Chains A and B, each alone.
Chain A
Amino acid sequence: MTPPGRRRGGPRAIVGVFLGYAILVFFALVFLYPFVIQAASSFKTEADAAAHPLSPVPDPFTTAAFAKIFDSTAFPVWIGNSILVTLLITAGRVFLDSLAGYALARLSFRGRGAVTAMIVAVMAVPGVVLLIPKFLVLNQLGIYNTYAALVLPLLVDAAGVFIMRQFFLSVPPSLEEAARMDGAGVFRTYWSVILPMARPALITLTILSFQASWNEFPHTVVAVQSPQLFTLPRGIANLVSGSLGAGTQYPLKLGAALLATIPVAIIFVIFQRYFVRGAAEGGSKE
């Protein structure tokens, strides 16, 4: 709250700086220390986790929880499913969203306005009220409780189409016009001239799709019911709230949740600015 450049080093400035850092450090602890507790507790014994919940140091240090996660739960299956589903959805979204976004921004065809309006309208539909409807359609199509049910409905997302459309609208049309004059077809122009220029937008879309599909939970609740088809969030939710959740077993549960968090955490640290851009652009997505 101190004017920059003026009175620097005065007593009020020092108080301001001190207060500023005190607030920042306090909230950094509030936002990050739960993760420290989580990581530490997953290496604790059950008794230690219950007796010293605040301690960041496991005493004694043990990997028993992780051994148990891999031996006595279906964790490996969940991870496999999560990786498969995430890869398919991310690839589908990046390809199909950008394809549709490009057409809506650049190609003139009858019904373009209607399709754009549909995309915008669909973006406004709250996901949680679609739980029963989605189940109904999956059931009707006969794909309930299959991999197709996990992947197909999420293969395109309206917000991604919209982000790509906005991006392509901002690209000057001169380049593709040149390519088209040279006789390149629409798809070739798109594939070898436009897409390479869209790298930043594509990276943003990839990151957002990865994060959304890796973390996706409510959709899996209405799409599948066999434990063989559970993804990580669904498996962990079952571990915690189902019959297995009886008793505490906190090191085990926290360890499982930690393993589910690590991939997104790594991507977040590396591609932070793309996350920030995504949050600023797609403000309407949670």
Chain B
Amino acid sequence: MAEPRRRSGIRGNEAAAGWLFVAPAVLILGLFLVLPIGMALWVSVSGWNGQGSPFAAGVPYVGADNYAELFLDDGLTRENFMISLRNNLYYVAVAVPAQTLLALALALVVNQRFLKATSFFRTAFYFPSVTSSVAISVVFLFLFANSGAVNALLAMVGISGPAWFADPRGLLHLILDGLGLVDLTAPPAALTGGGPFGLSWWEWLAGPSVAMSTIIMLVVWTTSGTFMLIFLAALQDVPVQVEEASLIDGANAWQRVRHVTLPMVKPALFLVITLGLIGTWQVFDQIYVMSQGKPANTTLTPAYLSYRTAFTDFSYGTGAAISFVLFLIIVVMTLLQRWIMRDRDEPRPRRRWWPRRRSTP
């Protein structure tokens, strides 16, 4: 290959070298990412029980049975799957806004030019993002233990903290109960009577459990540093002249954030939200280390459920089917992100689909 050739040979040489260069990458990605998806697709429509090869002659084809079990058939499988979807929905609904707002707020403060040593703080906020999810989960198990740091802090202000990881009560239930609208010990019959997909309305409306909220806090804590960096990169693109012009126009601090800064970071905002939507549907490590779905299945997520269904219940078909439903959910989120990124990369047709910014008064 390294032999000197006449110039006419370079192109042909290049084609061979090109394939040789990409061959290892194509082979590994194909073998361990593309092929497995095809295999899992077959397993998700099969009744394979983990014995022998899923492609052996005796493995039955069951059609959409595994999927039907998740959505249609009344039973424990559907109940667990629906509970996991509910848990993850609440998890997404709380974690994504929380991490986005925290990241934006941190970026706005770190970006202030009149503050010194902001690079130290930027580093500090980002550090949790680069550490091992397992190691961090261990730390949070200790922080939120019954006699842990968080309850010690709460005790200082006279609050007796909950037994975080053992508490399956839903936050929404607790709030409704606190407002006197419902009684936790005797939930209204209208809600417990029935509901979609085999879960009662009362169960759908539980909100994230106390145990789940510790995992939400953990994830917000570890992701907001990365998202802060994305916001910072966008903020640093805001031209100084624009800021100065708004100053001369006499805009106050809030008006400047609202009418100058926010419109400029809008693409970053959409990026962070979609990355958050993709990431929060994939929560697995923290559940595995901290709760394994307990207490009372309130920290069960589809990702963990698919793992558990396959590797501890040996229902590989159902586990694979859960994976594909989750895949579909995340693909929708990813397509949303791609669409947004494209809008961001090509400045010309941008701002077509979000409200046009009104000119500053």
Contact = CB atoms under 8 A, between A and B. Distances in A.
A103 B21 CA distance: 6
Contacts of A134: 32, 36
A96 B323 contact: no
A43 interface: no
B32 A152 contact: yes
B15 A96 contact: no
A20 B43 CA distance: 56
Contacts of B153: 54
A71 interface: no
Contacts of B133: 215, 217, 233
Given A3-B247, A286-B279, A153 B28 contact: yes
Interface string A50-64: 111110000000000
A53 B106 CA distance: 27
Contacts of B35: 137
B101 interface: no
Given A1-B112, A53-B152, A107-B21, A236 B134 contact: yes
A115 B22 contact: yes
Contact of A108 (B15, B26, B33, B275): B15
Interface residues of B, number: 111
Contacts of B140: 34
Given A132-B306, A215-B133, A268-B130, A108 B29 contact: no
A279 B229 contact: yes
Contacts of A119: 25, 29
Interface string A24-62: 100110111011011001000000011111100000000
Interface in A181-227: 183-188, 190, 211, 214-215, 217-218, 221-222
A249 B138 CA distance: 11
B262 interface: no
B25 A99 contact: yes
Given A17-B115, A103-B18, A130-B33, A268 B127 contact: yes
Nearest to B252: A1
B113 interface: yes
A246 interface: no
Contact of A136 (B43, B145, B256): B43
Nearest to A96: B24
Q: How large is the interface on A (under 10, 10 to 19, 20 to 34, 35 or more residues)?
A: 35 or more
Nearest to A104: B22
A166 B139 CA distance: 37
A79 B209 CA distance: 36
B19 interface: yes
Contacts of A69: none
B14 interface: yes
Among B11, B16, B26, B225, max chain A CB count under 10 A is at: B26
A136 B36 CA distance: 7
A253 B138 contact: yes
Given A108-B15, A136-B36, A215 B132 contact: yes
B134 A217 contact: yes
Interface of B: 1-5, 10-11, 13-19, 21-22, 24-26, 28-37, 39-40, 43, 53-55, 106, 109-110, 112-115, 118, 120-121, 123-143, 145, 147-149, 152-153, 221, 223, 225-226, 229-230, 233, 247, 253, 256, 271, 275, 278-279, 281-282, 284-285, 288-290, 292, 303, 306-307, 310-311, 316, 319-320, 323-324, 326-327, 330-331, 334, 337-338
Interface of A: 1-4, 6, 8, 13, 16-17, 20-21, 23-24, 27-28, 30-32, 34-35, 37-38, 41, 49-54, 96-97, 99-100, 102-104, 107-112, 115, 118-119, 122, 124-137, 139-140, 152-153, 155-156, 158, 161, 180, 183-188, 190, 211, 214-215, 217-218, 221-222, 232-234, 236-237, 240-241, 248, 250, 253-254, 256-258, 260-261, 264-265, 268, 272, 275-276, 279-280, 283-284, 286
Given A137-B32, A236-B135, A280-B230, 6 more contacts: A20-B115, A185-B4, A187-B2, A218-B285, A254-B139, A284-B275
28 contacts: A13-B114, A21-B115, A27-B124, A31-B125, A34-B128, A34-B139, A35-B139, A37-B142, A102-B21, A103-B18, A109-B16, A118-B26, A124-B331, A126-B327, A130-B33, A131-B303, A131-B307, A132-B40, A133-B323, A187-B1, A217-B285, A218-B284, A221-B307, A233-B134, A248-B145, A260-B135, A261-B135, A286-B279
